[in-house]
Amino acid sequence: MQVQVNELPKIVGDLVREARVVDLHTHLYPPMCKELFLRGIDDLLTYHYLLVETLRYGRITPEAFFALSKEKQADEVWKTLFVDHSPVSEACRGVLTVLKAYGIDAAPNSLDEIRDFFKTLSPEEHADRVFAAANLDYVVMTNDAFDQVETAYWGPDFIKDKRFRAALRIDPLLNTPDAAMKFMREKGYNTGPKMSAETAAEMRRFLADNADQIEPLYLAASLPPTFRWKDGTVSGQIMEEAIVPFCKERNIPLALMIGVRKLVNPEMRLGGDSLGRCCVASLEQMCLENPDMRFLITLLSRENQHELCVAARKFPNLKIFGCWWFLNNPSLVREITEMRMEMLGVSFIPQHSDARVLDQLIYKWAHSKEIIADVLVDNYSKLLETGWSLTKEDIKRDIDLLFSGNANEALGL
């Protein structure tokens, strides 16, 4: 059955809303991880995006704020951003989208009632409700081999819930190699203090031993804008002699999330990072020299997005994913998704949530799906104007690729 242009908003909107989702990058953990399993209103309100927005009003110093209990911090955020000012920022609106999804009529004076609601949800029931509400097949976690609080939970039970798949995250190995080699030495790996063939082999053994515990779908690192492939530094050698060979041995992709300038304001803690533009030409060289490697790439700078699309046209092994972090705002998701569809068709992964709190999955996916559906309607409308005909099955095929198929293909699933 051919689709008419005036039918597109409803057909596309429904199919996008119903689309099953693979969420390629989150900071979530399964319910068994107790204090790491963040959920509910106080965790939503103390999300680092909202903390920096609250501290901008200067009512309290960061030092005094972080000395408060989580509940008192949440009170301060709620009063500052929701009671005394209109919650129009994306992160504020996200909280309200979540509450609306639970059928809660949020108002300035409803924080205690909201807290009471979340107390009624057990961890497992909460996870079930959120995964159903966001149509999630599975999320990929961020599993930091250098975080001993997290690795204490690793083992068979950690990966039993197949809704939470692992990704092995190894930032220190590239960003603070001396400290990483010391950490590994203390764990029994003969690494450093200088880089050598032996050290590279021991790093690969460290990666293998960690991967054996959590079965990661990919290896991941967040890198500064100064990252360059084969730049002659120790980090460059580690990338070339340990990380890339390990990914090839395991046949898993390498996810590089590039452009973070860490802690430009340390007193903001998790909210203290900023961004910078990176060198896409260097990524092209990396893809050129490793045609048998799949690289999952997301860049933090808006100014990098167009050249990243061009690079993806040159290298099929460069898999663009998501509108990351400071780009995950409707105005930029729209601009970037339009740019990607114009240059890459439907051969990219438009979004990941980066969720840190379970309930964020609801709003991060609802807000992004709304924008991506708009961009699809616009492109399909233009397609129909050429006289091309489209069926509902064609549209569903494209949407399933965007929200799960391309991610599963990039992961070799």
Which residues make up the interface to ligand HDL (CB under 6 A)? 27, 142, 222, 257, 270, 325, 354, 356
Which positions from 75 through 114 interact with Zn ion, judged by CB under 5 A?
none
> How near is the Cβ of 319 to ligand HDL at its closest, in Å?
17
> How near is the Cβ of 257 to Zn ion at its closest, in Å?
7
Rounded to an integer, what distance in angstroms lies between the CA atom of residue 404 and that of residue 365?
Answer: 13
User: How does DSSP classify residue 2?
Assistant: B
> How near is the Cβ of 186 to Zn ion at its closest, in Å?
27
Rounded to an integer, what distance in angstroms lies between the CA atom of residue 241 and that of residue 254?
Answer: 14
> How near is the Cβ of 328 to ligand HDL at its closest, in Å?
7
Selection from ligand HDL, Zn ion, none that 222 binds (CB < 5 to 8 A by kind) is ligand HDL
CA atoms in the 13 A half-sphere facing the CB of 199: 21
Are 54 and 77 in contact by the 8 Å Cβ rule? The answer is yes
**For the sheet containing 21-23, what is the strand order?**
21-23, 136-140, 164-165
E strands, 145-243, in order: 164-165, 168-169, 219-223
Q: For ligand HDL, give the closer residue by CB, 46 or 222.
A: 222
Q: For Zn ion, give the closer residue by CB, 354 or 359.
A: 354
Question: What percent helix, strand, coil does the chain show, rounded to 5?
Answer: 55, 10, 35
Which positions from 325 through 384 interact with Zn ion, judged by CB under 5 A?
354
Closest listed residue to residue 257, CA positions, set 170, 342, 369: 170
User: How does DSSP classify residue 34?
Assistant: G
Rounded to an integer, what distance in angstroms lies between the CA atom of residue 33 and that of residue 143?
Answer: 12
By the rule CB under 5 A, 273 interacts with Zn ion: no
> How near is the Cβ of 221 to Zn ion at its closest, in Å?
11
Q: For ligand HDL, give the closer residue by CB, 73 or 222.
A: 222
> How near is the Cβ of 227 to ligand HDL at its closest, in Å?
13
Q: For Zn ion, give the closer residue by CB, 28 or 377.
A: 28
Selection from Zn ion, ligand HDL, none that 270 binds (CB < 5 to 8 A by kind) is ligand HDL
Residues found near Zn ion in the complex (CB under 5 A): 354
